[in-house]
């Protein structure tokens, strides 16, 4: 059977966007009788492994595959020698590295790279210096295509001019719509688990707990809204190195009863996060390349209030599927939360619009089908 090796420079510790993509990709490859080798930084836990369980999937461990890691390079070389793939696809590893040439030397026919990197706050793309363009083109000469997951990402790459433009393709990230169905029982179970009263509106952020995700802004909005309403509760779903610091900050702000912290939720779909949420608030500080959690919330028909950064405006349409605010404008974000709490009909309309938008443009199955076509496979073969 022909084989594709996909390198994911992440730990598969939850059933999220990356894991859903890996499963959908493998499922579609199975229809072509291809083997899908998924390389992660560590073995997935049992529930994630069960989610990824497809007959054509092999899982390999590739520790720390970024930053010119020599051990990872040797391990990948062994995998390529053993599996003899037709295609190598790189995800969440550096754009500048040895893997494209390693693949070429190993007889791999096509090399793909997906750009998943959000940019720093206030980032403005500029054409790279000549020396950097020349060096990058030499290092990445074996790359067949670079996949950009948003128009924002595509424009960044276009401006940098690091490779000929015919190497770049736009293929949006997507949501596994087969797993999207509202379940009142899951919503009730989620509220019960985290002691959230049924009568309170629930405002949720789902993210890695780091400064770039705007957690201090979320807490400030929680404070502003809580000063006006007592029938609202805020939940931060996720884990990260700054969790304890931000929990102390929330306590100092007097938000202990207004904000809950769930820690890592392995399956936000299956554990009722989106079922329970009334509003999703994502106040990223950096230039988000896409906004996977935003897309997932919209797929569940939830209105989103988010910062107008990076690729987020490609998802959230002002006053149609949610609201966009300037970075750091917490007063505006709080006003939008309050307005959605008071206008139930508008909230429902926005949620319905959001759901239709995801179904139209961000369906994982259709977007992976687009990628499969770029691989050179189609269902007529």
Confidence band for 246, pLDDT divided at 50, 70 and 90? very high
Please state the domain extents for the chain. Answer: 3-174+363-375, 178-361
pLDDT score recorded for residue 191: 97
* Phi-psi domain of 272 (left: phi exceeds 0; alpha: psi -120 through 50; beta: other): left
pLDDT score recorded for residue 113: 98
Residue 67, pLDDT > 80, answer no
pLDDT score recorded for residue 345: 84
Residue 9, pLDDT > 50, answer yes
Residue 381, pLDDT > 50, answer no
Domain 178-361 has CATH 3.30.1540.20: no
Neighbours of 30 (CB within 10 A): 16
Confidence band for 57, pLDDT divided at 50, 70 and 90? very high
Q: pLDDT tens digits, residue range 288-330? A: 999 999 999 999 999 999 999 999 999 999 999 999 999 999 9
Q: pLDDT tens digits, residue range 338-347? A: 999 987 888 8
pLDDT score recorded for residue 380: 46
Residue 265, pLDDT > 70, answer yes
Tell me what the mean pLDDT of segment 162-166 comes to: 96
Tell me what the mean pLDDT of segment 238-260 comes to: 97
Confidence band for 250, pLDDT divided at 50, 70 and 90? very high
Residue 137, pLDDT > 80, answer yes
Is the pTM value of this prediction over 0.85?
A: yes
How many residues are listed for the chain in this entry?
381
Residue 100, pLDDT > 70, answer yes
Residue 378, pLDDT > 80, answer no
Residue 54, pLDDT > 50, answer yes
Residue found under tokens 């022909």? 2
Tell me what the mean pLDDT of segment 23-29 comes to: 98
Q: CA-based angle 9:39:144, to the nearest 5?
A: 75
pLDDT score recorded for residue 241: 97
Instruction: Tell me the average pLDDT of the chain.
Output: 96
pLDDT score recorded for residue 343: 78
Confidence band for 125, pLDDT divided at 50, 70 and 90? very high
Tell me what the mean pLDDT of segment 111-118 comes to: 97
Tell me what the mean pLDDT of segment 47-74 comes to: 94
pLDDT score recorded for residue 48: 97
Residue 379, pLDDT > 80, answer no
Tell me what the mean pLDDT of segment 186-197 comes to: 96
Tell me what the mean pLDDT of segment 94-122 comes to: 96
Instruction: Write the CATH number of the domain with boundaries 3-174+363-375.
Output: 3.40.50.2000
pLDDT score recorded for residue 346: 82
From residue 199, how far is each of 195, 219, 278 by CA, in Å? 12, 21, 12
Domains 3-174+363-375 and 178-361 share a fold: yes
């Amino acid at each position: 059977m022909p084989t594709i090796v996909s390198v994911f420079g992440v730990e598969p510790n939850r059933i999220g966007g990356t894991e859903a993509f890996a499963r959908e990709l493998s499922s579609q490859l199975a229809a072509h009788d291809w083997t899908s080798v998924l390389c992660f930084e560590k073995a997935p836990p049992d529930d994630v492994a069960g989610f990824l369980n497809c007959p054509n999937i092999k899982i390999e461990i590739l520790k720390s595959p970024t930053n010119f890691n020599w051990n990872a390079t040797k391990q990948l070389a062994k995998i390529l020698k053993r599996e003899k793939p037709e295609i190598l696809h790189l995800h969440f590893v550096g754009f500048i590295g040895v893997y494209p040439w390693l693949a070429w030397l190993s007889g791999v026919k096509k090399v793909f790279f997906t750009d998943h990197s959000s940019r720093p706050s206030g980032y403005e793309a500029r054409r790279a210096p000549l020396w950097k363009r020349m060096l990058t083109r030499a290092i990445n000469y074996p790359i067949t295509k670079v996949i950009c997951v948003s128009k924002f990402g595509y424009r960044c790459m276009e401006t940098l001019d690091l490779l000929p433009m015919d190497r770049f393709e736009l293929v949006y990230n997507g949501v596994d719509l087969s797993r999207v169905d509202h379940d009142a029982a899951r919503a009730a179970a989620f509220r019960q688990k985290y002691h959230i009263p049924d009568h309170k509106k629930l405002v949720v952020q789902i993210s890695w707990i780091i400064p770039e995700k705007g957690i201090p802004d979320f807490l400030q909005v929680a404070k502003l809204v809580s000063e006006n309403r007592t029938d609202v509760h805020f939940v931060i779903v996720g884990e990260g190195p700054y969790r304890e610091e931000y929990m102390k900050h929330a306590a100092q702000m007097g938000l202990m009863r207004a904000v809950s912290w769930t820690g890592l939720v392995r399956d936000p779909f299956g554990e009722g996060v989106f079922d329970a949420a009334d509003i999703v608030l994502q106040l990223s500080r950096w230039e988000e390349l896409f906004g996977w959690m935003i897309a997932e919330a919209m797929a569940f028909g939830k209105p989103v209030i988010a910062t107008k950064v990076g690729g987020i405006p490609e998802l959230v349409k002002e006053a149609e599927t949610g609201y966009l605010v300037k970075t750091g404008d917490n007063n505006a974000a709080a006003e939008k939360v309050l307005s959605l709490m008071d206008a139930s009909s508008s909230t429902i309309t926005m949620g319905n619009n959001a759901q239709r938008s995801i179904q139209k443009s961000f369906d994982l199955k259709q977007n992976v089908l687009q990628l499969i076509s770029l691989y050179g496979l189609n269902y007529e073969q």
